[in-house]
Amino acid sequence: MITMDAHRFLLPLVLLQFLFFTLPLTGNSKLFREYIGAEERGVTFSNVPIHPGVNFHFILSFAIDYDTSASPTNGDFRVYWDTKNLNASTVSSIKARHANVKVAMSLGGDTTGSKHVKFTIKTINSWVGNAINSITRIAKEYYLDGIDIDYEHFSTDPNTFAECIGRLLLHLKQNKIISFASIAPYEHDSVQPYYLALWKKYSHLIDYVNFQFYAYGKGITVPQFMKFFETQISNYRGGKVLVSLGTDGSGGLSPQAGFFEACKKLKGLGKLHGIFIWSADDSKKKGFPYEKQSQNILASGK
Ligand SMILES: *[C@@H]1O[C@H](CO)[C@@H](O)[C@H](O)[C@H]1NC(C)=O
């Protein structure tokens, strides 16, 4: 009798558990990502706290297809991040010390020196060919696992950008040069159409959307942030849109105004696909408190 009753009770429970853990009631993931190396502040990988319970991506900032006199090179990328500290040997040692760490590089960025970095090509085929060669070389030299696309200024139309980046990602993934790719759009009429054109045709090649929520105005509130988040998950439908924090005093939802409260809310809704921070360079002098807090939230619970 007791066993019968137990079964009657247990079976639905087991089924419920099965549904709970297999169906993505939760889109939560324990992914933490951080940009590093853009600002010549001498930050190193080992400065940054790494929680063992998260998947951690460093994103080297930036590789740019510009020459030393800041003229575009049609897809021939060079490393612009701080290679005094962030070099092949420090990449391989941080990965050897932390099994949960992967390292990516970001392409483009806002400026170099005082000039905007503009996405500029001669032809689609020649840009893609040069980009494949130079990025393959850099990825091998620095033991990289992934790539992030962060152009913010353009001298082509959106479809040309989409075609170049899409073909580049296709080649890099098919040939296993990289194992993951992300894009880093923000809400602006001069930026979003480029990434939406890319998403429309090539979303299957893009693993994460590093949406720059810190590019919204300063002083936004939790409800506003939640609304912006919903807008972006509908723009990048089916994508893993990460939430983000700027530690450089830029805009968006600050920790004081409830950034971490919003993260917990999203986690409760099963929509916390990860958190990223711009940037380790800016966080260094503060001792990385927000990196710790972000990773604690990601690592806790389901
Ligand atoms: C790589 O960076 C480390 C840490 O800053 C430094 O000690 C080392 O000399 C660098 N190696 C090269 C080849 O630049």
Domain ranges of the chain: 31-299
Query: How is residue 39 annotated by DSSP?
Result: S
**Cis check: omega of the bond before 190, within 30 degrees of 0:** no
Report the CATH superfamily, name and number, of domain 31-299: Glycosidases (3.20.20.80)
Measure 135 CA to ligand 1 centroid, in angstroms.
21
Enter the tokens of residue 3. 């066993």
Task: Give per-residue pLDDT as tens, 49-87.
Answer: 999 999 999 999 999 999 989 899 999 999 999 999 999
Polymer length in residues for the chain: 302
Q: What would the DSSP string read from start to end of 96-137?
A: HH-TTEEEEEEEEESEETTEEPEE--S-HHHHHHHHHHHHHH
H or E segment at 65? none
Residue whose CB lies within 8 A of the most ligand 1 atoms, among 84, 142, 284, for a mutation test = 84
CA dihedral 176, 174, 138, 179 (to 10 degrees): -50
Output the pLDDT for position 258: 97
Catalytic residues: 152
Query: How is residue 63 annotated by DSSP?
Result: E
Measure 140 CA to ligand 1 centroid, in angstroms.
17
Task: Give per-residue pLDDT as tens, 207-218.
Answer: 999 999 999 999
Q: Residue 198 class from Cβ within 10 Å (0-12 exposed, 13-18 middle, 19+ buried)?
A: buried
Output the pLDDT for position 1: 45
